Amino acid sequence: MNSIWPALPVLLPLLGAILTLFARLGGLQWQRAVNLTLTAALVILTSQTLLVAGTNEHQVYLLGNWLAPFGIVLVLDQLSALMVLLTAVLALFSLLYAITQATDERGEHFHVLYQLQLFGLNGAFMTGDLFNLFVFFEVLLLASYGLLLHGGGRLRTKGGLHYVVINLVGSSLFLFAVGTLYGILGTLNIADLAAKMADVSADDQGIVVAASYLLLVVFGIKAAMFPLYLWLPGAYAHTSAAVAALFAIMTKVGLYAIVRVHGTLFAEKAGALESVHIDLLLWIGILTLILAAFGVFAGRGLKEQAAFLVLASVATLLIGVGLNTPQALSASLYYLIHSTLIGASLFLLADLIARGRGSYADRLRVAPPMANAILLGSVFLFSAIAITGMPPLSGFFGKILILDAALGHELQVWVFSAVLIASLLMMIAMARSGSTLFYQVSSDTHNDGTALNPAALVVVIALLLLSPALVITAGPVTGLTEQIAAQFTNCEGYINAVLGQTAVTGK
Amino acid sequence: MEWLIAIVIGVMTASGIYLVLRARTFPVVLGLTLLSYAVNVFLFVMGRLQIGQAAIIDPSAPGYTDPLPQALVLTAIVIAFGMTAFLIVLALKARSELGNDHVDGMSYVAEEEAAKQHKAEQS
């Protein structure tokens, strides 16, 4: 069905970025107001988009009215609609935190970069063209370089340099993969690629598989999967809290790209090439999860631990995707919503704690007692329960759903042991961090920390409260994720919707 | 001609990878530039090698070359150009902030060692 809906969530942040740039004339207060209004508007728009996508049809927008596969298409289905909504909600909370803690005062153009980041993210979620995906990746990366380095600082520069270099290598590999696929299949439209997979001759199959593994490496760098995750802790732990929180969605972009591109290309239509990447994905997920749990254990600071917890959530999602059933995909999507929001809240909370501890920051060392330790400690306990997947919060339900989907899989023993052992390790590590931060205080009462910012705390608590909300609404949410998984698994529908799209005729 | 192009791409990619793995930021920047050159040529060749053919379909023309890779290369060149410019500025920033051009900022490590020693002396 031809519609304007796929283009709107991409257009709004693009126009928003330009508007925010002009708002600079009025000063920072104006930029804040404009950015906040635009992000709130994006939340409303994307929730409307999800409702529209719920009509169970693929909505296609032909850019410049050029027919697929010749032109570029934007495709809205329920999966992409869910992702843009999640991005917008996360962006709203991160922005509120950034404003309450005045993160944006530490450098220029924070708000402009913020909108451009959203533009890149939404574009990557909506596009139906592989090369266009590359372009949107570059847009979101360039904005993320700016945001990551915003405010400056030596550790931030060092972490940022690693992040930029590895992503530039990733971009080169992406182009190699795109070129190879174009050389063999003669198209770059994802739906058209999927349709042509069946016709790949036996001689060319190896090349297509090589290209798909190259793409897996590229998306793996974004998703931070083993062994390509080494950039993540340094980059995430040293950037500002609001940016780290927003970046909780960035790893999920890589995961989404794997699901979208590999899931569509190597569906049952691909014949001999069906699911060539799946076994690899599952093993990588298991390995990443174990290493991430060790990382949480070894983390010297709370922010570093939060970065490894983000990694653990990505690993769990990789396992969910690697199980390769609609049920597992649905479970993964539930866990994705949970882990993005709660992982982000942990970065914000770590920042609040670090400010309260002054020069000791978030390092896990014995420090003088901080102000409002009981209040912050309670919030920390709550978020630790949510992120490690203990009952009764949403992390528990997400993990149960994924483990339930793993029942009967040939690698179920491995999946169960990895998920459960990793959860145990993370739980012990978080318990140790909590006791170091809040119980083992030194007798020296001189604390050079700043007073707790109540507005920032309210933002963090509001974000955390989404976890019980996810539990209470577990019925409708899993209903939605099941619907999404069912729609996604029906690749035929996607291909027909894109390739069967007729151009709009003028008068 | 195919083998010549293939060797050119291979050598450029290999040199690019070697340079990216170096420990100083300047060779890394050069390596990324070489990698992007290699990928540009690679993309261009993916439309197959044609000599003296137009990219626009004309009924009187004897044949034509695939115009799409040319469009892709143009986009890739522009993006790589911008990214390289950004990386050079970042490398300079890292050079001034970290005190040297090592990709891991060696001075930071040295500084931490010094702090540790200082602490050990105190206790």
Residue A171 at interface with chain B, using a CB cutoff of 8 Å = yes
Q: How far is B87 from chain A (nearest CA, A)?
A: 7
The Cα-based distances of B63 to A389, B2, B58, B59, B60 in angstroms read: 62, 19, 8, 9, 9
Residue A149 at interface with chain B, using a CB cutoff of 8 Å: yes
Model pLDDT, residue A21:
92
A6 has a pLDDT exceeding 70: yes
Contact, A490 vs A264, CB < 8 A? Answer: no
Distances (CA, A) of A376 to A202, A348, A454: 61, 12, 11
State whether residue A145 sits within 8 Å of chain B by CB. Answer: yes
| Residues A327 and A485 sit within 8 Å (Cβ to Cβ) | yes
The pLDDT value recorded for residue B118 is 72
B83/A142 CB distance under 8 A: yes
Confidence of residue A138 (pLDDT cuts 50, 70, 90): very high
Distance CA A309, CA A347 (A): 10
What is the distance between the alpha carbons of residues A228 and A239, in angstroms, rounded to a whole number? 19
Q: Given an 8 Å threshold on Cβ–Cβ distance, is B32 in contact with A172?
A: yes
State the pLDDT confidence band at A227, using cuts at 50, 70 and 90. confident
For residues A119-129, give the mean pLDDT: 94
Task: Judge whether A210 is closer than 8 Å to chain B, CB to CB.
Answer: no
- Residue B108 pLDDT greater than 60, yes or no: no
Q: What local confidence, expressed as pLDDT, does residue B85 receive?
A: 92
Q: Is A390 on the interface with B (CB under 8 A)?
A: no
* Mean pLDDT on A266-277: 80
Number of domains comprising chain A: 1
Q: Which CA distances in Å does A399 have to A7, A294, A412, A474, B47? A: 34, 19, 14, 13, 47
Report residue A364: phi and psi, to 5°: -85, 75
For residue A194, give the amino acid letter.
A
Phi, psi at residue B48, to the nearest 5°? 70, 150
Is the CB of residue A429 less than 8 Å from the CB of residue A296?
A: yes
The answer to whether B32 contacts A157, with C-beta atoms less than 8 Å apart, is no
A175: three-class secondary structure by DSSP:
helix
- Domain range holding A329? 277-472
Cβ of A155 and B108 within 8 Å?
Answer: yes
What fold, for B2-122? Helix Hairpins (1.10.287)
pLDDT class for B113, splitting at 50, 70, 90? low
A176/B42 Cβ within 8 A: yes
- Please name which of A384, A314, A341 lies closest in space to residue A92, comparing C-alpha atoms: A341
Residue A299: C-alpha distances to residues A302, A306, A312 (Å): 7, 9, 13
In this structure, are residues A352 and A460 in contact, taking their beta carbons and an 8 Å threshold?
Answer: yes
Spatial contact of A491 and A267, defined as CB atoms under 8 Å apart: yes
Put simply, whether A365 touches B (Cβ < 8 Å) is: no
User: Which positions in chain A touch B98 (Cβ < 8 Å)?
Assistant: 154, 157-158
Contact B94 A175 (CB under 8 A): no
Find the CB nearest A179 among B42, B86, B90: B42
Which chain A residue's Cα is nearest to B16?
Answer: A169
pLDDT number for residue B109 = 58
Instruction: Indicate if the pLDDT at residue B107 is higher than 70.
Output: no
Q: How far is A172 from chain B (nearest CA, A)?
A: 6
Average confidence score pLDDT of chain A: 89
Q: Are A157 and B98 an interchain contact pair (Cβ–Cβ within 8 Å)?
A: yes
Q: What is the mean pLDDT of residues A339-345?
A: 93
Contact B20 A169 (CB under 8 A): yes
Question: Cα separation of A134 and A123, whole Å?
Answer: 10
What is the average per-residue pLDDT within A85-96? 95
CB B91 within 8 A of CB B103: no
What confidence score (pLDDT) does residue B102 get? 83
Alpha helices in A186-324 (DSSP H): 190-196, 202-223, 231-238, 241-246, 250-257, 263-265, 278-298, 302-323
B47, B72, B87 member nearest A164 (Cβ):
B87
Residue A507 has pLDDT above 60, yes or no: no
Does the beta carbon of A366 lie under 8 angstroms from any beta carbon of chain B?
Answer: no
Residue A158 contacts B where some CB pair is shorter than 8 Å: yes
Does the beta-carbon distance from B108 to A162 stay under 8 Å?
no
The pLDDT of residue A419 is above 80: yes
- As a three-state string, the secondary structure of A314-355 is HHHHHHHHHHCCHHHHHHHHHHHHHHHHHHHHHHHHHHHHHH
- Asked if the Cβ–Cβ distance from B91 to A161 is below 8 Å, we say yes
Q: Has residue A443 got a pLDDT over 90?
A: no
- Is A383 among the domain residues? yes
**Residue A138 and residue B83: Cβ atoms within 8 Å?**
yes
Q: How confident is the model at residue A64 (pLDDT cuts 50, 70, 90)?
A: confident
Contact B79 A176 (CB under 8 A): no
Q: Which residues contact A249 (CB under 8 A, 6 or more apart)?
A: A86, A87, A90, A121, A340, A344
Tell me the nearest-neighbour CA distance from B36 into chain A, angstroms.
Answer: 6
A217–chain B Cβ distance below 8 A for any pair:
no
**Contact residues on chain B for A160, CB-CB shorter than 8 A:** 90
Q: The complex's ipTM?
A: 0.88
User: Measured in whole angstroms, how far is the alpha carbon of residue A293 from the centre of its chain?
Assistant: 19
Give percent of chain B above pLDDT 90: 44
Interface of B with A (CB under 8 A): 16, 20, 25, 28, 32, 35-36, 38-39, 42-43, 46-47, 68-69, 72, 75-76, 79-80, 82-83, 86-87, 90-91, 93-94, 97-98, 103-105, 108
Mean pLDDT of A109-114: 92
pLDDT band, residue A199 (cuts 50/70/90): confident
Which of A134, A136, A161, A217 is best to mutate for the B interface (most B CBs within 10 A)? A161
Backbone angles phi, psi at A76, to 5 degrees: -110, 115
- For residue B97, give the chain A residue with the closest CA: A154
Who among A149, A154, A172 is closest to B35 (CB)?
A: A172
Query: Under an 8 A CB cutoff, do A145 and B68 touch?
Result: no
Q: Say what the pLDDT of residue B111 is.
A: 63
Over range A456-485, report the average pLDDT. Answer: 92
A164 and chain B in contact, CB less than 8 A: yes
Query: Quick one: average pLDDT of A360-384?
Result: 85
Q: pLDDT-derived band of residue A79, with 50, 70 and 90 as boundaries?
A: very high
Nearest to A132 by CA among A195, A66, A87, A79: A66
- The tens digit of pLDDT for each residue in A294-327 reads 999 988 889 999 999 999 999 999 999 998 889 9
Residue B96's pLDDT band, with cuts at 50, 70 and 90, is confident
Say if residue A110's pLDDT is above 70.
yes
For B106, nearest residue in chain A (alpha carbons): A158
Tens digits of residue pLDDT in B47-90 = 888 887 777 777 787 778 888 888 899 999 999 999 999 999 99
The predicted-structure confidence for A181-190, as pLDDT tens digits, reads as follows 999 998 899 9
Distance (Å, whole) CA A419 – CA A316: 7
pLDDT of residue B106: 64
